[in-house]
Amino acid sequence: MESIIEVKSLAKLFSNQAALENVSFSVKKGETFGFLGPSGSGKTTTIKILTAQLVPTDGEAYVFGVPTSKLKNPEMRKKIGVLTDNSGLYARLSVFDNLKLYCDLYDVPYSRIDEVLEMVNMAGERKKVISKLSRGMLQRVTLARAFLHKPELLFLDEPTSALDPVNTRHIYRGLERLKEEGTTIFLTTHDMNEAEELCDRVAFLNKGKIQLLDSPLALRRKFADHTVTVELSGGEKEVIDMGPAGAKALHEYMSENKVTSIYSNEPTLGDIFVEVTGRKLS
Amino acid sequence: MTFSMKRLLAIFNKDYKDLTRNLYVSFTLLVPLVLAAVFGRQGIDSIDLYYMVFNMALCLVAAYIQCSLIAEEKEKNTLRGLMLSPASTMEILVGKGLLSFVTTILVIGISAYFLGYMPENLLIVSLGIILSTVFYIALGTALGLVTRSVMEASVIIMPFVFIFSFGTSLSVLAEKYPILQAADYLPNSQLIMIAKEVEMGTGLAELWSHFGIIGLWVIGMALITMVIYRKRMVD
Ligand SMILES: Nc1ncnc2c1ncn2[C@@H]1O[C@H](COP(=O)(O)OP(=O)(O)OP(=O)(O)O)[C@@H](O)[C@H]1O
Ligand SMILES: [Mg+2]
């Protein structure tokens, strides 16, 4: 399958401090790819390099087969959407006027504005002035602006970090819709549930290095310890191996009607992250 | 390099709307207008005075507005979004420059009306003012590229207001300090010379040296702006 992003041994130094070291990965067309890592691990730096806002110290990065240094032409810009923590909106203008500017810049009809506002649950707020919006609302407008022009590739830097659960859900549904339309999404987050829910594959980033890269399911399988925890009617819990011996024990408990609950011991992405890096995610 | 008029006008429209809601910056538009109204009421009839107002308008409107429009985009991080869009830096700067230009010409026109200034030859004077406006916009662009906030822009513009608005009075002291004769070659001094000659009936053909000097200032400033642009914007 076609690679939309191709990164080879990428490194970035900030005054001799490595923010990224030997990072390599590729993102396929239509895939949602997650960069999972704690604060300062280099997630934003990676997005900035891939969108030509920063020049890498070493290594190669290609987007749509084009080196990032050549991304400046308008046709390439139209294929890419970006949401980063530093993308500002015009505070004195309304939500609508902010998006209208970008419709003109990207050659998109104004009818698209209501469509994207609907996707981020802001349809009723189009006339509001930006300076009067809450942090979560700002993030949603910025997000709407990022996919206003239906980009083929969307970079999202912690898209739900300022949102409540209801709006987070709403955004997830919007992103699923974009995915169905074939959008490739590169997403960073330190929320493992978000990565698990949205991403086809995730890379664990720690101190500028990729430590693991696979689909959430494959990772959970790989790190599974093949046990279940059984809660018995007396309140005691027992960890049972998922082999023949465990089956026998479980069968016994069940025949005696002693089982109140069974928990899977499959690790979450967060557990795996801690196991691999020895660090907590947030 | 591609250049899109649609994108340029989009930037112009956005900045226009933003400027009308920016009290801090649009307040500076009022300074030359109020001065013009006050002088006009007193019925003062002096080219030097008229052009003090016009030169002030050139500094405070053409240069300062252009400078703060650029500085604010950097301060509020909105420039990032523009740079990531199909808009080129050239479209962004020219779109802003167009707004600064239109505003300057309007302010000078209204000031002239308040002052009761009717030049003998409107065409020649207009040419001089338009050429000067281009110079001040280039100056504002250069300053906007080096400043990071509207506050900084307001401070950095001060010495230029001093030199270019009041610089003409320096030549009065030139007898004592010959070095100050150089002030005659400032674009504002040249503009006043053009205006004075026009009142005496001099035609365009005899004024080319003044236009030439202002033209050199425009070219020089444009080059400086280009160099700063290359250094600052291409990282
Ligand atoms: N412009 C810069 N100059 C110097 N150091 C920088 C710069 N940008 C980032 N860094 C450093 O690079 C490292 C990675 O930063 P980055 O912003 O990529 O982290 P992140 O994973 O996005 O973190 P967060 O989750 O907090 O957003 C940090 O140590 C940071 O201090
Ligand atoms: Mg970040």
> What DSSP string runs through B94-107?
HHHHHHHHHHHHHH
CB < 8 Å to B80, chain A: 53, 84, 86-88
pLDDT classification of B169: cutoffs 50, 70, 90:
low
**Count of positions (residues) in chain A:** 282
Cβ separation A87–B14 shorter than 8 A: no
- In Å, how far is A142's CA from the nearest CA of chain B? 10
Q: State if residue A45 touches ligand 1 by the CB under 6 angstroms criterion.
A: yes
Q: How many CB pairs under 8 A join A and B?
A: 69
Q: Could you say which DSSP state residue A129 is in? A: B
Would the pLDDT of A224 be above 60?
Answer: yes
Choose, out of B85, B91, B148, the residue to mutate when testing the contact with A (most A CBs < 10 Å). B85
Pocket flag, ligand 1, residue A84 (CB < 6 Å): no
Residue A43 Cβ inside 6 Å of ligand 1? The answer reads yes
Dihedral angle computed from the Cα positions of residues B76, B79, B84 and B87, in that order, rounded to the nearest 10 degrees: 150
DSSP 8-state symbol, A163: -
Residue B171 has pLDDT above 80, yes or no: no
Domain of residue B45, residue span: 5-232
pLDDT digits (tens, 9 = 90+) for A144-183: 999 999 999 999 999 998 889 998 998 999 899 999 999 9
Calculate mean pLDDT across residues B30-55: 90
Distance from CA of B218 to the nearest CA of A (A): 29
Minimal CA separation from A123 to chain B, in Å:
22
**Do A32 and A179 touch, CB atoms closer than 8 A?**
yes
Nearest to A87 among B6, B11, B80 (CB): B80
pLDDT classification of A25: cutoffs 50, 70, 90: very high
Rounded to whole angstroms, the Cα distance separating B224 from B138 reads 9
pLDDT at B100 exceeding the cut of 70: yes
Q: Note whether A88 contacts B81, CB cutoff 8 Å.
A: yes
Residue A258: Cβ within 10 Å count? 14
Considering Cα of A56, then A59, then A64, then A67, what sign does the dihedral take?
Answer: positive
What's the total number of domains in chain B?
A: 1
Nearest CA in chain B to A145: B81
Task: Spell out which residues of chain B touch residue A90, defining contact as CB-CB under 8 Å.
Answer: 14, 18, 76, 78
Q: Do A92 and B14 touch (CB under 8 A)?
A: no
pLDDT tens-digit readout, A55-92? 999 999 999 999 998 888 889 999 999 998 777 899 99
Residue A104 touches partner B, C-beta closer than 8 Å: yes
Query: Which of the four pLDDT bands, split at 50, 70 and 90, describes residue A282?
Result: low
Which residues of B fall below an 8 Å CB-CB distance to A? 2, 4, 6-7, 9-11, 13-14, 17-18, 21-22, 76-78, 80-88, 235
Q: Which residue of B has its CA nearest to A102?
A: B85
Q: How crowded is the C-beta side of B80, counted as CA atoms within 13 Å?
A: 22
Closest in A80, A84, A101 to B10, CB measured: A101
Q: Is the alpha carbon torsion for B43, B47, B50, B56 positive or negative?
A: negative
Token match 């942090």: residue?
Answer: A135
pLDDT at B229: 84
Looking at residues B31-55, what average pLDDT do you find? 90
Chain B interface includes A74 (CB < 8 A):
yes
Chain A neighbors of B9, CB-CB under 8 A: 104
Average confidence score pLDDT of chain A: 91
Instruction: Give the pLDDT confidence score for residue B235 in this predicted structure.
Output: 45
Query: How many Å lie between the centroid of ligand 2 and the Cα of residue A208?
Result: 12
Is the CB–ligand 1 distance for residue A42 below 6 Å?
Answer: yes
Pairing, β A17-28 against β A3-14: antiparallel
Does the structure show a pLDDT above 70 at B233?
no
From A86, A92, A102, residue closest to B85, measured CB to CB: A102
Ligand 1, atom 9: closest residue by C-alpha: A45
Q: From start to end of B119-161, where are the E strands?
A: none
- 3-state DSSP assignment of residue A239: strand
Longest Cα–Cα distance of chain B, Å, equals 56
Chain B within 8 Å of A127 (Cβ-Cβ)? no
**ipTM of model:** 0.88
